[in-house]
Amino acid sequence: MDVTPAMSCGKVALVHDWLTGMRGGERCLEVFCEMFPRADLYTLIYRGARMAPAIAAMNVRASWINRLPAVESYYRYCLPLFPNAIEKFELKDYDLVISSSHCVAKGAIAQNALHIAYIHSPMRYIWDLHDVYFGTDSSWLSRTGMSVWRDYLQQWDLRSSQRVDFFIANSRNVAAKISKLYGRQAAVIYPPVDIGRFYVRETPEPYYLLVSALVPYKRTDIAIAAFNRLKLPLKIVGSGPLRKRLAKMAKPNIEFLGWVDDLCLAHLYASCQAVIFPGEEDFGIVPVEAQASGRPVIAYGKGGALESVLPWNFAAADSPSGPNPTGIFFDECSVESMMEAVRLFQKNHQKFAPVEIRRHASKFSRQRFAAEFRDYVKARMGERQLET
Q: How far apart are CA 138 and CA 147, in angstroms?
A: 13
Mean pLDDT of 253-261: 95
CA distances from 62 to 107, 140, 347 (A): 16, 31, 52
Report in angstroms the alpha-carbon separations of 112 from 94, 233, 385, 388.
8, 55, 13, 12
263 Cβ contact list (under 8 Å, min separation 6): none
6 vs 170, more confident: 170
CATH code for the structural domain at 197-363: 3.40.50.2000
- The answer to whether residue 276 scores a pLDDT higher than 70 is yes
Compute CA 229 distance to the chain's CA centroid, rounded to the nearest angstrom.
29
Residue 54 pLDDT > 90: yes
| pLDDT category of residue 126 using cuts at 50, 70 and 90 | confident
Predicted confidence (pLDDT) per residue in 215-231, tens digit = 888 999 999 999 999 99
Q: What is the pLDDT of residue 138?
A: 60
| pLDDT more than 90, % of the chain | 74
Could you report the per-residue pLDDT of 97-115, keeping only the tens digit for each? 999 999 999 999 998 999 9
CATH architecture of the domain covering 12-192+365-387: 3-Layer(aba) Sandwich (3.40)
pLDDT attached to residue 385: 79
Question: Which secondary structure element, helix H or strand E, spans residue 56, and what is its range?
Answer: helix 53-56
Mean pLDDT of the chain: 90
Statement: residue 41 has pLDDT above 70: yes
Judged by average pLDDT, the poorest of 139-148, 222-231, 306-315 is 139-148
The amino acid sitting at 72 is E
Dihedral angle sign, alpha carbons of residues 193, 197, 202, 203 = negative
Helix (H, G, I), strand (E, B), or coil: what is residue 187?
Answer: strand
What are the φ and ψ backbone dihedral angles of 79, each rounded to 5 degrees? -50, -45
The number of residues making up the chain comes to: 388
Supply the pLDDT for residue 217.
85
The Cα–Cα gap between 70 and 63 comes to 14
All structural domains of the chain with their residue ranges = 12-192+365-387, 197-363
Please write the tens of the pLDDT for every residue from 64-74. Answer: 999 999 888 88
Q: Residue 52 in contact with residue 30, Cβ under 8 Å?
A: yes
- Residue 201: C-alpha distances to residues 15, 294, 349 (Å): 38, 8, 15
pLDDT band at 288 (very low <50, low <70, confident <90, very high): very high
